[in-house]
Structure 1
Amino acid sequence: MSPCPTPFLTAMLAALLLATGCAATGTPATMADRATGSVPAPDPVSSPEWANDMARFAAEDAASPPPARPVVFTGSSSVRLWTTLAGDFPDRPVLNRGFGGSHIRDAVHYADEVAIRYRPSRILIYAGDNDTMDGRSPRQVLADFQAFVARVHRDLPGTPIAFIAIKPSPSRAQLLQVQRASNALVRDWAARTPDVDYVDVFTPMLGADGQPRPELFAEDALHMNAQGYALWRGIIAPYLR
């Protein structure tokens, strides 16, 4: 019969396994996920009401077929309320598939409906704003975005995906540090990940005092006004060239 391992040996083996696992992953996605192409299951959707938005998108597609190979914008209300999107990027076929109030994990669940079915030339997602407001941590924001990328690239490998940084807003100024940390994790991961980009709208939306610029926002101090969207247009346009 083999001798039982000593407590010291057991502890050393456990520490080695932990260190090996941490070094191998480096991110919330596991090596097995990356090797097999599987998509880590995100948390449940943040609201069952998104099914209504998916039905609306299907009805819009039936009434007016979307352009071939569009640039898809998806995510939460900052995308949904971007009513001038097509006019702001007249040289590119763009498609707005934002659903207000959503989290990143909702875009994972509904990736087919908001992105994959259109076989887009590229995807830009703005989400994370509501996530952090509802208590999601920076690590969860990163993990959810990684799951979105994995879900899209499983069916559409090589499709460029850009994360539009979580914006700073006056009504959520108490979350600036969480937003900054979330953005930094996504930025750093995108910098070393093929076909993934980070679009920094966070920094230009801060004033010299380090606080959100109120002139960029509507009366609710959360959603952007025309000046805010004009700023976004100027930042995002070079990425679409």
Structure 2
Amino acid sequence: MKLFIAISVLLNIAYIYKLSKDYYITYKKRIASEHVTYLYNRQTIYKVLPINKNDIVFIGDSHTQKFDVAEFFNKTNIKNRGIDGDVTEGVLLRLSDITKGHPAKIFLQIGINDIFQRNDLIKAIPNYKRIVRRILEDSPETKIYVESILPSKFANPDTVIRYNRAIKQISRDNGLTYIDLYDKFNSSGSLKPIYDCGDLIHLNGNGYVLWSGILKPYL
């Protein structure tokens, strides 16, 4: 009898585990599908909003997308081209929609999601070099401003620091302006609480006030 009960318990545990695993796999697939749809939607919107030679363009991920740059800087020629969840490869794929307009300036802030996804720099740094090279080749009159990525509780601080050093060197090699955001927002490898919106990743209003203040001299 005890053996029968033990077997029944084990079978129930195995069944519950399988259900949980199947649900998790289905959930991940649904989230991934929704994210792909979201990325595609943002890309189609940006395609029909043209860039011209007087524009200042902000390229990046969710940090940039949530940055109300036109209002913070009170300039109608500032265009936000941030996409939540974007990575360096994603920027490469949509870059031509921006460079064909030959904007006056580009502010580039991308890479934290590469670290979230892979926790290495094998692809991110070569991609960043390609991004810079593409802009220089396709729109040589555009001034490029390389912004460091921000600290995050969910990213290895050493990896973030190495990435920022690498893109700083890329900016030096190409005669570009590098803007250090990391040190202003950093507290032991995470966002300073005063700038954290509550998820340990994204900025609150105070954070964007600081960011916009750092960038104003370059506009």
TM-score when normalising by structure 1:
0.70
Correspondence list, 1:1-241, <5 A: 48-49=36-37, 50-59=39-48, 61=49, 68-83=53-68, 85-91=69-75, 93-113=77-97, 115-135=98-118, 137-170=120-153, 172=154, 174-194=155-175, 196-207=176-187, 209=188, 211-240=190-219
Give the conservation status (yes or no) of the 8 Å contact 1:71–1:92.
no
- Separation in 2, partners of 1:87, 1:141: 31
Q: Offset at 1:136?
A: 5.1
Give the conservation status (yes or no) of the 8 Å contact 1:126–1:163.
yes
- Separation in 1, partners of 2:203, 2:152: 9
Q: Offset at 1:73?
A: 0.3
Structure 2 letter corresponding to 1:197: T
- Separation in 2, partners of 1:66, 1:186: 25
Q: Once the two structures are aligned, what percentage of the paired residues are identical?
A: 23
Structure 1 letter corresponding to 2:157: L
- Separation in 1, partners of 2:89, 2:145: 16
Instruction: Identify the structure with the greater helix proportion.
Output: 2
Structure 1 letter corresponding to 2:106: I
Q: Offset at 1:67?
A: 6.1
Q: 1:66 to 1:189 in 2, by over 3 A?
A: closer
Q: Offset at 1:141?
A: 2.4
- Separation in 1, partners of 2:100, 2:146: 19
Structure 1 letter corresponding to 2:73: F
- Separation in 2, partners of 1:102, 1:224: 17
- SS where residue 118 of structure 1 aligns? coil
Give the conservation status (yes or no) of the 8 Å contact 1:108–1:147.
yes
RMSD between aligned alpha carbons? 2.1
Give the conservation status (yes or no) of the 8 Å contact 2:191–2:201.
no
- Separation in 2, partners of 1:155, 1:66: 14
Give the conservation status (yes or no) of the 8 Å contact 2:100–2:139.
no
Listed as ranges, the gaps of 5+ residues in structure 1 are 1-46
Listed as ranges, the gaps of 5+ residues in structure 2 are 1-34
- Name which of structure 1's ranges 182-191 and 152-161 shifts more when overlaid on structure 2: 152-161
Give the conservation status (yes or no) of the 8 Å contact 2:62–2:82.
yes
- Separation in 1, partners of 2:62, 2:189: 24
TM-score when normalising by structure 2:
0.76
- Separation in 2, partners of 1:54, 1:227: 29
Number of residues of Structure 1 aligned to a counterpart in Structure 2? 184
Give the conservation status (yes or no) of the 8 Å contact 1:206–1:213.
yes
- SS where residue 100 of structure 1 aligns? coil
Structure 1 letter corresponding to 2:123: Q
